[in-house]
């Protein structure tokens, strides 16, 4: 099975082959700042099952700390798959265009999660944006 992914503007496209066993959710403060949300949802794929289809020249990597870098599309800013180790690719789950068929398997740095990362007692759930307007 092959799954494709891309950045928001479509300049970068990639493909992964085979199944994945789950999503890793990182709650550290670095990932919260990089994503602007609760953290980063990551899928770990062996290098030999990942390939760029287009746009590799659109990547820009920011070395924020000796142990933390982030690669983004230089056009739209989408966080892109990280190629930091020789064995695996760490791709941001939100960049996948095709369904994964698995859920979050691991939460890391969970003790660092934001205090607001929970539903309020009176939380509302909307299926579409149109429910918010009006």
**Dihedral, CA of residue 119, residue 131, residue 127 and residue 97, to nearest 10:** -110
* Domain topology for 2-112: 2.170.150
pLDDT for residue 110 is more than 80: yes
Task: Enumerate residues 6+ apart whose C-beta is below 8 A from 84.
Answer: 69, 90
At 133 the pLDDT is 56
Q: What is the mean pLDDT of the chain?
A: 90
Q: Quote the distance between the C-alpha of residue 86 and its chain's center.
A: 19
List, for residues 15-44, the tens digit of each pLDDT value.
999 999 999 999 998 889 888 899 999 999
The Cα 105–Cα 102 span in angstroms is: 8
pTM assigned to the model = 0.84
pLDDT for 134 equals 52
* Residue 127 scores a pLDDT above 90: no
- pLDDT tens digits, residue range 52-95? 999 989 999 888 777 778 889 999 999 998 887 889 999 999 99
């Amino acid at each position: 099975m092959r799954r494709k992914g891309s950045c928001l503007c479509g300049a970068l496209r990639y493909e992964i082959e085979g199944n994945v066993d789950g999503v890793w959710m990182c709650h550290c403060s670095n990932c919260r700042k990089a994503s602007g949300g609760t953290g980063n949802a990551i899928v770990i794929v062996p290098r030999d099952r990942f390939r760029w289809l287009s746009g590799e020249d659109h990547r820009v990597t920011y070395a924020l700390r000796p142990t933390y870098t982030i690669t983004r599309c230089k056009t739209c800013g989408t966080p892109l798959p990280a190629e930091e180790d020789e064995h695996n690719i760490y791709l941001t789950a939100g960049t996948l265009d095709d369904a994964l068929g698995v859920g979050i398997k691991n939460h890391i740095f969970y003790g660092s999660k934001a205090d607001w990362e929970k539903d309020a007692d009176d939380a509302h759930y909307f299926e579409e944006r149109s429910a918010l307007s009006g």
